C-alpha cells in the first residue's frame, strides 16, 4: 500500500508533511499558517487548510470521523464552538477531543488533527 503525502513544510524547524493518506484513511495536522492572526482567524485559517489538504487526498471535511483539538488556552473554547458548528455537517458531526496544551511555538493558539475517510476509488 502506498502512502500519499501533501503539504510539505521545511525551513528551520522539523521537516514534515501536513497531510498523509493510505488506503481509505487520510489525516491532517497543523497549526495556523499565519500565527499573527487572533484565535478566530487562526481557527478559520486552519480549517480552510484542512479542507484543501483533504481535497488533495480525495476526501473532504464531510468525511471526517474524528478530530483532536489542542488549545493553548481553554478559555478560547467558547470562541471555537460557533466556528466549528458552522464548518461541520450538523447532522453528522465527527468525534471531537479537546485538550489544553503548550505549543512548540508560543504564537500558535491552537492545533487541529483530523482523520477522514477517502473513497475506495482514491485509495
Query: What is the pLDDT tens value at each position of the chain, 123 positions in all?
Result: 789 888 887 777 778 888 999 999 999 999 998 889 999 999 999 999 999 999 999 999 999 999 999 999 999 999 999 999 999 999 999 999 999 988 767 789 999 999 999 987 665
Residue 121 has what pLDDT? 65
Residue 122 has what pLDDT? 63
What domains appear along the chain, each with residue ranges and CATH number? 3-117 (3.30.1330.40)
Cell of 3: 502512502
Three-point CA angle 28, 94, 23, nearest 5°: 50
Q: How far is Cα of residue 65 from the mean position of the Cα atoms in its chain?
A: 12
Prediction pTM value = 0.91
Amino acid at each position: 500500500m502506498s502512502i500519499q503525502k501533501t503539504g510539505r513544510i521545511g525551513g528551520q524547524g522539523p521537516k514534515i508533511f501536513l497531510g498523509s493518506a493510505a488506503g481509505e484513511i487520510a489525516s491532517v495536522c497543523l497549526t495556523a499558517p499565519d500565527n499573527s492572526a487572533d484565535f478566530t482567524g487562526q481557527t478559520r485559517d486552519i480549517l480552510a487548510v484542512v479542507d484543501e489538504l483533504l481535497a488533495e487526498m480525495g476526501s473532504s471535511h464531510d468525511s471526517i470521523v474524528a478530530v483532536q483539538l489542542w488549545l493553548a488556552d481553554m478559555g478560547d473554547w467558547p470562541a471555537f464552538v460557533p466556528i466549528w458548528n458552522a464548518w461541520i455537517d450538523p447532522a453528522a458531526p465527527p468525534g471531537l477531543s479537546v485538550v489544553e496544551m503548550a505549543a512548540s511555538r508560543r504564537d500558535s493558539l491552537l492545533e487541529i488533527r483530523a482523520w477522514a475517510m477517502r473513497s475506495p476509488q482514491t485509495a
